Structure formats: C-alpha cells, structure tokens
Amino acid sequence: MRILILGGSWFVGRAVVADAIGRGWEVTLFNRGRSAGAPEGPLHVRGDWERAADLARLAAHGPWDVVVDVAGAVPAVVRNVARALASAAERYVFMSTISVYRDWPYQPVDESSPLWDGDPDLDPGTRRWDPDAYGPLKVGCELAIRREFGDRALFIRPHVILGPGEYVGRLPWWLNRISRGGHVLAPAPPGRAIQPVDVRDVARFTLDMIATNATGPFNVAAPIGRDTFGGLLHACREVTGSTAEFVWADEAWLAQQGVREWTEIPLWRTLPTAWAMNTDKARQAGLTCRSLQETAAATWHWLQGGGVPVAHERFAEHGISVEREAELVAACL
Ligand SMILES: NC(=O)c1ccc[n+]([C@@H]2O[C@H](COP(=O)([O-])OP(=O)(O)OC[C@H]3O[C@@H](n4cnc5c(N)ncnc54)[C@H](OP(=O)(O)O)[C@@H]3O)[C@@H](O)[C@H]2O)c1
C-alpha cells in the first residue's frame, strides 16, 4: 500500500503514521516541517498545502493508492489539495468530526443525521480556531472532496479523541490536575456516560478501512454507555498514583456559579445527547476501542516521558484556575 499522509506530526496524524509504518506500508508525509513530531522513516516532502507550487511538486512524487488528509479544515484549501492530487491518488480519506452534524450535541447522531450547510469553495480568510465555524467548514471540506473524488472518498467522523500527543488539552489537564492531589472539583453525577475514543483506535480503524477499500462516512467513538465521567477520573487517579479526593458538585449548581461546560471543566457536558453518537456502522466494520484506563495510562506515560503537546490556541481554553476551583470546593465541603 502506497499511502500519502497530509500532516502527520501533531496528534492524530502521528498515530496514523505510526500505524501505517507498523503495517509495512510505504508512507509519504507532506507538511511544512515546523513540528518535530513526525516519525523517522517515511519519505518526507516539505511544503505548504496552501501553495499551488508545493502541491504540484508533491503530486509529482505519486502515484499513491490513498491520500489521508488528517487535518484539513478550510474547504477552499482542501479543494485545491484534492484537485492537485486527483490523478495522483486512487482514494481520498478525510479526518472529519462529529461537529459536522447540525443537531449535535442536542440530538443523538448517526451517519444519516443532517449535516450543516457547507460550501466547498469557502475560505473564511482566517485560520483561527472558531468553534462555531468548525462544523460547517468541515462539511465544506467533505463536499469539496466528494466533488473531486466522487465515491472514492472515505470520511472518518470521530467524537472526542484522547491519547498520547493530545494538544487540545483535555486529558492532559485532568491528569496534571489529579496528579497534584487534594480536593478535585468534579461534576456530578459520576455515572454520567461519556464516549471519547483513543487516538490509536482512530488510526487503526482508519487504516483498516483503507485496507478494505471502504468508502463513505463512519462515526468513530467508544460504545455508548460503556464509559463514565467517574471512570475517567478514577483512571486518572490510578495511573498518576494520586491520593486526590473528588468533590462531586451538583451540575445545576456549577452552572449557576457560571462554570463553563466543556472547557473550564474539560469534557463535562450536561446534555446526555452530547455522548450519544451511534457507531454501529463502524463497529460492524471492525472498530474496537481500548479502555479509558489504557488511554489515561499511555497519555500519562507520554507526559511523564517529557511529551509536550504541540502549542495550540485551544490548549489555553481548558481547565479551571486553582483559585476558582478552591473557592468552589470550599463551598461544597
Ligand atoms: N481532537 C479531537 O478531539 C478531534 C475530534 C474529532 C476530529 N478531530 C480531527 O482530527 C484531526 C486532528 O488532526 P491533527 O492536528 O492531530 O493532525 P496531525 O496531522 O497530527 O497534525 C497536523 C499536521 O498538519 C501540518 N500542517 C499544518 N498546516 C500545514 C500547511 N499549511 N501545510 C502543510 N502542512 C501543514 C503540521 O505540520 P507542520 O506544522 O510541520 O506543517 C502537522 O503535521 C483534525 O482534522 C480534527 O478536525 C479531532
């Protein structure tokens, strides 16, 4: 299998590259070479996917059986990439997201759920992270790929991804906080279902689907109801060897205090439908998801080994300040 991976050095891409190398596939990487995380071994073509000349130079390194676009997020840019590679690659695989679904997190979603309106030619003119624009932009990217590759396209739509290399700042925040010990503010109930997926399982499933010539969209997440918020925090306590005590605070009370879901308390979402992504299609195709315990252990191991997340604007959004947490904990005790 000759595979071209666009990106490959931050988080999801790194896991995809590692898995592809492990399968003995012939890997070409394309990125600007700014980040140090790309594994050794593959042919590394340096360039910027926003520059037509770089894309033309890249295409000349083909052909490939498949191109995996891990981090594309701007429809007009993805369109240009897909056009430049249309005759150099048989198939196009795109790392999409649960955010393409218009009704998420307010309704359960499966692959037939309605998507946001997307424009395959849109360039919003900024590369800044915008949570409201993210879903529609990813839909635009999917549409651009469909236009160039038709049904030779595979769309992986993961829910929240955790694991070694995570730069969004969710699991690293919990691990670091819990490792410091003391009273840790936790959003009740501990039995709240969650369904993040390990980055290595996303990578494995993506490559398995490539190997079987699968096309179309696949939702990717842990099984609904298997994991809980309490399970995640206990896993963090166990793998960090911490003696932290969780102070479970009523969710309505936390909301009254103005505590922000999702970011200030990472991964906390009160809507049960936020964690109701149907993944039957992927599971029937072979998706398996390791335990949260394994994800927490590997991420802690990575952090302890000097792993540093790629600097990203989203990282700073996550986590509650020490002072504010102490105030809220004091009010609960
Ligand atoms: N995190 C989550 O919970 C979550 C959930 C659902 C879906 N997703 C999706 O998962 C994907 C995460 O991707 P990732 O960031 O981890 O991918 P990645 O492939 O590991 O990293 C991004 C890569 O893009 C390269 N790059 C950035 N701008 C470039 C440019 N202009 N030209 C060429 N290369 C460029 C970077 O290298 P250089 O800087 O060296 O160029 C880096 O290798 C995204 O598509 C996201 O939408 C994430």
Nearest Cα residue to atom 36 of ligand 1: 7
pLDDT grade for 254, boundaries at 50, 70 and 90: very high
* Torsion over CA: 72, 76, 81, 86 (sign): positive
Nearest Cα residue to atom 13 of ligand 1: 71
**pLDDT at residue 14, rounded to an integer:** 95
Mean pLDDT (the chain, rounded): 96
Q: What is the 3-state secondary structure (H, E, C) of 271-323?
A: CHHHHCECCHHHHHCCCCCCCHHHHHHHHHHHHHCCCCCCCCCCHHHCCCCHH
Query: For residue 24, what are its two tokens?
Result: 């003995």
Other Cβ atoms closer than 10 A to 182: 15
Residues 159, 98 contacting (CB under 8 angstroms): yes
31 φ, ψ (degrees, to nearest 5):
-160, 180
pLDDT in tens, 83-107: 999 999 999 999 999 999 999 999 9
pLDDT grade for 36, boundaries at 50, 70 and 90: confident
Using the predicted structure, report yes or no on whether residue 38 has a pLDDT greater than 80: no
**pLDDT at residue 332, rounded to an integer:** 96
Nearest Cα residue to atom 11 of ligand 1: 71
CA distance 227 to 286: 19
Ligand 1 near 11 CB (within 6 A): yes
Nearest Cα residue to atom 7 of ligand 1: 97
Ligand 1 near 315 CB (within 6 A): no
- Average pLDDT (246-253) is 97
CA distance 152 to 84: 15
Q: Residue 21 to residues 18, 103, 219, 254, 326: CA-CA distances in angstroms? A: 5, 37, 24, 46, 46
pLDDT in tens, 291-326: 999 999 999 999 999 998 888 888 778 999 999 999
Residues 99, 135 contacting (CB under 8 angstroms): yes
pLDDT in tens, 204-222: 999 999 999 999 999 999 9
Using the predicted structure, report yes or no on whether residue 37 has a pLDDT greater than 80: no
Give per-residue burial for 207-226: e unless 16+ CB within 10 Å, then b.
Answer: bbbbeeebbebbbbbbbbee
**pLDDT at residue 314, rounded to an integer:** 82
pLDDT grade for 178, boundaries at 50, 70 and 90: very high
Cα-to-centroid distance, 73 and ligand 1 (Å): 9
**pLDDT at residue 317, rounded to an integer:** 84
Residues 175, 299 contacting (CB under 8 angstroms): yes
**pLDDT at residue 313, rounded to an integer:** 82
**DSSP at 39:** P
Cα-to-centroid distance, 214 and ligand 1 (Å): 22
pLDDT grade for 152, boundaries at 50, 70 and 90: very high
Question: DSSP labels for 141-185?
Answer: HHHHHHHHHTTSEEEEEES-EESTT--S-SHHHHHHHHHH-SEEE
Residues 173, 262 contacting (CB under 8 angstroms): no
CA distance 107 to 212: 31
Residues 181, 243 contacting (CB under 8 angstroms): yes
- Average pLDDT (71-77) is 98
Using the predicted structure, report yes or no on whether residue 41 has a pLDDT greater than 90: no
pLDDT grade for 199, boundaries at 50, 70 and 90: very high
